Amino acid sequence: MSQHPTTRPPTRAPLLQAPDGTPFRDLNGNGVMEPYEDPRLPAGERAADLVGRMTLEEKAGLLFQTMVGINPDGTLVEPESGAADDDPMRASTSRMVTGKLMNHFNLFGAAAPRRMAEWNNRLQALAATTRLGIPVTISTDPRNGFMDNPAASVHTEGFSLWPEPPGLAAIGDEELVRRHADIVRREYLAVGIRLALHPMADLATEPRWARVVGTFGSDAGLAARMVAAYIRGLQGDTLGTTSVAAMTKHFPGAGPQLNGEDAHFAYGREQVYPGDNFKHHLIPFEAAFEAGTSQIMPYYAMPVGTEYEEIGFGFNKGVITGLLRGTYGFDGIVCTDWGLVTDSEIFGAPFPARAWGAEHLDRLTRVERILDAGADQLGGEACPELVIELVRGGRISEERIDESAVRLLREKFVLGLFDDPFVDPDEAARICGSQEFSDAGTAAQSRSVTVLTDRPAASAAPLLPLTAGLRLYTEGVAPEVAARYGTVVATPQEADVAVLRIATPFDRRTEGFESFFRAGRLDFTEDELRPILDVAAAVPTVVDIFLDRPAVIPGIAEQAAALVGNFGASDAAVLDVLFGRAVPEGRLPFELPRSMAQVEAGHEDMPNDSGDPLFPFGHGLTIG
């Protein structure tokens, strides 16, 4: 990464020269190039040298990756003293970096790309003031999609906008997925993000699961190809100084959630395999290993009815040390999902630790179990003092801590963070959301649109593509966008055709954190369905439905003149398809069930097992 000294804040790690002329950052400020500061040495050698110089407190800080906030102006979050460290919008950044000696952070929230770059530089300058000058690794959930869930994805203005992963799977083009991930890589690099908390290699075998929208669908072979291409787009053929590391999740496959409930919540703590299909869910992870994923995240849930202990995967030694490290030989970083140890409060409501199967254990013992299971890092936690207590109490050896510390530091060296962690805010503003990247994302949105039906009741000819200049009645479409395609009218009776944009139904639960998870039912109530069918009865109607999960829509499919599905697409991207300006290529990445009874009768771990779906996996029509 290039040097831009005029755009950076001061740092106590000046660029010096060794006696032989080799430039190096004097991270510990002693004027001598130590082995860990020597850019010529292999990453593993530098990491081993640095671990030998670290105190237990410094090693313990490495083992935690929690959320950190950003102010809109790109400054560090530094609230009043006494703010809780487990609240990313209130926790003190400097206290975590210089007090707790932490240097891995999951960026929570967003700002304009220029401000994010400036924030990175301020954070790295703060890290440079610590005794050994260890730089920060910044991570993020996906930022280039339509979904905005603080636990799963962060829609970020200023970044290119793409369909969600099921849409990429609907296109099925590995080169497109690789290019998409490469663009994500370039945007992340520009603002200083070096670790992607994605892709998800989970399979969408349980239609009700709220996180279907983060998967590459229900088919293991398709998902494996997409996951591998995504990782190669982020990391390249090998991890290096221009890579963004991939943390593939959620091992060993988080899809088979009991009744489709999510393991963020106690009622979703069980992962079940009524079809005895545990190994099938490993197929996309095997592709991730082959592609060289740098990191793995286990999920919250606890396996029920398998050979493994019924305890959450982050605590599960049989899964992490036995299956992941042993059977698959994975020697990269294992980071738990967020918040397995400490009860917290989110959006004003209590949010218990996701210590499923370990609820009875105290915080100290939970950390002990996680480390004994083989994890290197605790996600969403900021309690290195517990690791210190475990070591000093003789419950965990310092050699065990060193093992994880070397892994974590080795990746920082490979990524080049020790040699240059700073970025150029001007470049961030130019690269992120550039016309080239935005156009590529919009084109992918249109390509992913999936035509399910095109059969007007009053005509033998297909309705699509629509003719420019028609009188349009729309719902869920911005009028100014619709006006670019036809004359917008106020009622269905005035229209030649109606275009309705709707979304897959879900059960509304609490108004707090749970409200971000679209879970439960997939079918429309009579009250929800009636206005849609009334419009369809009045005028030929195109219904476009956002398929964040597999919707149950037999009535709409029967009455709509045309029915299309999207997986994250703007009004213009969909209307371009409907009016023949773009070609839809989508094929369903999961089946659409015919009824909720089919869904409820299905096996959580079996893909596409309704027996008689309304639309099968792979369905999609061509138009024109």
- Catalytic amino acids? 337
Distance in angstroms (rounded) separating the CA atoms of residues 310 and 271: 9
The amino acid sitting at 409 is: L
Residue with tokens 């990746």: 411
Phi, psi (5° rounding) for residue 545? -120, 135
Asked whether the beta carbons of 140 and 65 are under 8 A apart, the reply is: no
The per-residue DSSP string of 36-82 comes to GG-TTS-HHHHHHHHHHH--HHHHHHHTEEEEEEB-TTS-B----TT
Whole-number Å distance between alpha carbons of 341 and 338:
9
C-beta pairs of 591-595 under 8 Å, 24+ apart in sequence:
591/218, 591/550, 591/615, 591/616, 591/617, 591/619, 592/452, 592/547, 592/550, 592/551, 592/552, 592/553, 593/207, 593/522, 593/550, 593/552, 594/552, 594/554, 595/523, 595/552, 595/554
Are residues 202 and 211 in contact, defined by beta-carbon separation less than 8 angstroms? Answer: yes
HSE-up of residue 131 (Cα within 13 Å, Cβ side)? 12
Q: What share of the chain is helix, strand, coil (3-state, %, to 5)?
A: 35, 15, 50
What distance in Å separates the CA atoms of residue 323 and residue 410, rounded to the nearest whole number?
23
Residue with token string 């030694």: 317
Print burial letters for 400-430: b (CB count within 10 Å at least 16), e (below 16).
ebbebbbbbbbbbbbbbbbbbbbbbbebbbe
d(CA 6, CA 321): 47
Distance (Å, whole) CA 424 – CA 346? 34
| Two structure tokens written together for 74 | 């790109």
CA–CA separation, 64 and 81 (whole Å): 21
Q: Is the dihedral of CA 185, 188, 193, 197 positive or negative?
A: negative
Which helix (H) or strand (E) segment holds residue 442: the answer is: helix 435-448
Q: What span, in angstroms and rounded, lies between the C-alpha atoms of 525 and 237?
A: 49
DSSP 490: S
CB 103 within 8 A of CB 93: no
One-letter amino acid at 79 equals: P
